[in-house]
Amino acid sequence: MDLKLKNKTVFVTGASRGIGEATARFLAMEGCNIFVGYHTGFDSAENIAMDIRRMGRKAWLVKMNMADENEVNIGVREIIEIAGSLDILVLNAGHNILTPFENLKNEEWDEIIRINLSGPFYIINALKNHFNEGSSVILVSSVAGHTGAPHHVHYAAAKAGMINLTRSLAKAMAPRTRVNCVAPGLTRTDMGEKTMAVLTDNYVKEKLLAQRMADPHEIGALIAFLASPVSGFIYGETININGGRDFR
Which residues belong to the active site?
155
Using CB under 6 A, pick the residue from 140, 153, 156, 173 that binds ligand NAP: 140
In angstroms, rounded to a whole number, what is the distance separating the alpha carbons of residues 53 and 51? 5
Eight-class DSSP state of 116:
I
In angstroms, rounded to a whole number, what is the distance separating the alpha carbons of residues 35 and 49? 8
Per CB under 6 A, 92 contacts ligand NAP = yes
Contact assessment for residue 186 and residue 245, using Cβ atoms and an 8 Å cutoff? yes
Q: How far is the CB of 161 from ligand NAP (least distance, A)?
A: 12
β-pair type (131-140, 33-38):
unpaired
Q: Which is nearer to ligand NAP, 41 or 236 (CB)?
A: 41
HSE value, Cβ hemisphere, 13 Å, CA-based, for 213: 17
Per CB under 6 A, 120 contacts ligand NAP = no
Q: How far is the CB of 45 from ligand NAP (least distance, A)?
A: 6
Per CB under 6 A, 16 contacts ligand NAP = yes
In angstroms, rounded to a whole number, what is the distance separating the alpha carbons of residues 106 and 188? 29
Per CB under 6 A, 168 contacts ligand NAP = no
* Chain residues that interact with ligand NAP, rule: CB under 6 A: 14, 16-20, 38-41, 64-67, 92-95, 115, 140, 142, 184, 186-187, 189-192, 195
